[in-house]
Amino acid sequence: MNRAVVAAATAVLLSAAAARADNVASFTADTQQSKLEFTGVQAGAEFKGVFHKFTAGVDFAPDALAASRIDVQIDMNSVDSMDKDRDTTIRGKDIFDVAHMPAAHYVTKTISKTAAGFSAVGALTLHGVTKDVPIDFQFTQAPGGAKLTGTAKLNRLDFGVGQGDWKSTEWVGDAVKISFSLVLKPKG
């Protein structure tokens, strides 16, 4: 094999790699339009809450999942379950303990294609505990950006969310459902 061929082959490979990296578009979530919601069970009835403050960075291309990534940072103090008493309790030391652990972080490790869309496994750091949490999501191109919607399930006690009385699951369920809808704008 002569030098010219090697050089040509290298150039082709490099440009392919460059093209592949270019395919992976980088976005940030428009938090005004995006929503991060959770559903818990309290005394046998579901209740919903949201986090008003979070940031999300998304690098995504459906054909380059290995290079794709979702990274979300959540301000735990911004929790809102539409009741001040409950929010105060949730922020307190026995539940979120926002005084010591004000943020939660989720970053994907692997993303794969599924029949319905995509699924990912990522590391969730919540209440100072890091554990893998799978998510299912859909990614759709939209004018001026993209939309990422999905769901996840986790058990609050895996993360020590609920100390003292709140360790019991008799009145507050262990399972918590998460749903998110991120309106993505190209990273400027």
Q: Which residues bind another protein (CB under 8 A)?
A: 42-48, 81-86, 88-89, 165-166, 168, 170-172
Place of tokens 């959540």: 74
- Measure the CA–CA gap between 188 and 172, rounded to whole angstroms: 43
CB 44 to another protein: min, Å? 3
Nearer Cβ to another protein (32/85): 85
| Cβ distance to another protein smaller for residue 81 or 110 | 81
Residue 81 vs 155, nearer CB to another protein: 81
| Closest listed residue to residue 48, CA positions, set 149, 182, 137, 177 | 177
Instruction: State the DSSP H helix or E strand holding residue 86, giving kind and residue range, or none if neither.
Output: helix 84-91
* DSSP tag of 155: E
> Distance of alpha carbon 142 from its chain centroid, rounded?
20
Q: How far is the CB of 178 from another protein (least distance, A)?
A: 18
- Which of 149, 163 has the CB closer to another protein? 163
> In the bound complex, what is the minimum distance in angstroms from residue 168's beta carbon to another protein?
7
